[in-house]
């Protein structure tokens, strides 16, 4: 029997919605596009109508043909114009797990020909090259060559207790490669013996979750788990909140999983990292998957505050209410213009604080905000917290 796309719990949750519209007010996509059809309440009501009107309960539970092709095509456009930021779920007074419903809905659509072809590229790239950008996977750790003083083994040894799972974005985008470079330098300075998986690192599978193609995921997970096991690793560090989320929620790994902000905070607290004064005013952007997703709010703030001379100003919308930068949910691939409009709202909010720099903990947020700032010639420094820590060490 095929697994149904929607669980009984999800079907009950759909019925529980009271139409209060709080989720619509919190939705960055609906706000930026000025289009209520992108909001959670609209998407949920259409889904409910389609499921109720066209299927019996048994079909809902057993089948994948719940929505007609025509409905799917009209509807798919709104479904994929969502950053999967989870803000709707955060504000829903009934606690409806909207993000899980969005994943189920994408899975449902992936089984139909209403599926947006642009998104299909993810499946092709991952099956051919094991990374989301169709790059040569043997080049995953090429960024090491850009380090000033890399370790002789280029961090590619056979056994290591600590591994750094780099992620596709930081492995291949020149702008984002500065983050693993900075992290490797910090870990070296902090006396942490770590290794990379190199070409044995495959995409974590997060883009598949967002695309709705979880069938391919097992292969990626099994490979990554086997690679980590072969190294004898006890701890995996992630700088990418989406990789971190994937490993935490879908890998069932028997090792410690830690986001880099949590790992670096330990080094700060144990005085393994020393900072000199860095006189600057910064604000902090909580990445959706790290903040709302993993509830990691305090470690990055504690790291920032531990740097002498820094002044941290909070964004008007911060922590669990932080507004998405526009970089999530494969939205850039689907509707780059809308992703840019969401980034605009984000940058305007950042600028309202008067901070000279925005710090975040996600390479995709860095990419998205930097792209908007550069395109519009806005004077704002954008950096990952790893880069900030490295900068504070550089000021020796």
Point out which residues bind ligand SF4 (CB under 6 A): 17-23, 26-29, 40-41, 44, 82-88, 91-92, 94, 96, 98
SS3 state at 237: strand
Quick one: 51 or 183, whose CB is closer to ligand SF4? 51
In DSSP terms, 196 is beta-bridged to 164
Q: How far is the CB of 13 from ligand SF4 (least distance, A)?
A: 8
Q: How far is the CB of 391 from ligand SF4 (least distance, A)?
A: 31
Q: What is each CA distance from 5 to 10, 112, 117, in whole angstroms?
A: 10, 12, 20
Quick one: 76 or 170, whose CB is closer to ligand SF4? 76
The Cα–Cα gap between 165 and 201 comes to 7
Quick one: 93 or 174, whose CB is closer to ligand SF4? 93
Q: How far is the CB of 41 from ligand SF4 (least distance, A)?
A: 4
Q: How far is the CB of 27 from ligand SF4 (least distance, A)?
A: 3
Secondary structure string (H, E, C) spanning 76-134: HHHHCCCCCCCHHHHHCCCCCCHHHHHHHHHHHHHCCCCCCHHHHHHHHHHHHHCCCCC
Token pair, residue 99, equals: 């993000």
Angle at 245 between CA 242 and CA 250, to 5 degrees: 125
Q: How far is the CB of 183 from ligand SF4 (least distance, A)?
A: 29
Quick one: 131 or 330, whose CB is closer to ligand SF4? 330
Quick one: 292 or 390, whose CB is closer to ligand SF4? 292
Q: How far is the CB of 50 from ligand SF4 (least distance, A)?
A: 16
Quick one: 27 or 257, whose CB is closer to ligand SF4? 27
Asked if residues 239 and 257 have their Cβ atoms less than 8 Å apart, the reply is: no
Tokens 């900072």 belong to: 275
SS3 state at 312: strand
């Amino acid at each position: 029997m095929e697994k149904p796309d929607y669980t009984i719990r999800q079907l009950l949750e759909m019925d529980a919605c009271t139409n209060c519209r709080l989720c619509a007010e919190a939705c960055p996509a609906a706000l930026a596009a000025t289009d209520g059809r992108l909001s959670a309440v609209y998407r949920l009501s259409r889904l409910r109508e389609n499921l109720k009107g066209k299927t019996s309960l048994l079909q809902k539970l057993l089948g994948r043909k719940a929505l007609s092709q025509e409905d799917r095509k009209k509807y798919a456009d709104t479904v994929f114009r969502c950053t999967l930021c989870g803000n709707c779920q955060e504000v829903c007074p009934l606690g409806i797990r909207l993000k899980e419903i969005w994943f189920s809905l994408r899975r449902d659509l992936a089984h139909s020909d209403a599926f947006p072809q642009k998104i299909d590229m993810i499946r092709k790239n991952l099956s051919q090259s094991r990374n989301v950008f169709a790059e040569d996977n043997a080049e995953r750790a090429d960024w090491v060559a850009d380090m000033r003083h890399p370790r002789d083994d280029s961090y590619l040894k056979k056994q290591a207790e600590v591994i750094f799972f780099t992620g596709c974005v930081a492995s291949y985008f020149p702008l984002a490669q500065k983050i693993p470079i900075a992290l490797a330098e910090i870990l070296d300075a902090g006396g942490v013996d770590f290794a990379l998986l190199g070409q044995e690192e495959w995409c974590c599978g997060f883009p598949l979750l967002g695309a709705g193609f979880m069938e391919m995921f097992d292969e990626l997970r099994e490979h990554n788990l086997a690679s980590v096991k072969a190294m004898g690793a006890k701890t995996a560090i992630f700088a990418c909140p989406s990789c971190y989320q994937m490993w935490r929620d879908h890998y069932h790994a028997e090792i410690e999983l830690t986001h880099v902000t949590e790992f670096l905070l330990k080094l700060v607290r144990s005085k393994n990292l020393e900072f000199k004064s860095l006189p600057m005013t910064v604000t902090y952007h909580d990445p959706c998957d790290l903040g709302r997703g993993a509830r990691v709010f305090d470690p990055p703030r504690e790291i920032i505050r531990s740097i002498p001379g820094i002044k941290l100003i909070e964004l008007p919308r911060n922590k669990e209410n932080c507004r998405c930068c526009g970089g999530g949910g494969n939205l850039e691939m689907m509707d780059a213009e809308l992703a840019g409009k969401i980034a605009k709202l984000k940058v305007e909010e950042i600028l309202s604080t008067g901070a000279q720099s925005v710090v975040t903990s996600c390479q995709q947020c860095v990419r998205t905000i930097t792209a908007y700032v550069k395109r519009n010639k806005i004077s704002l420094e954008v950096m990952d917290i790893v880069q900030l820590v490295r900068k504070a060490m550089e000021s020796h």
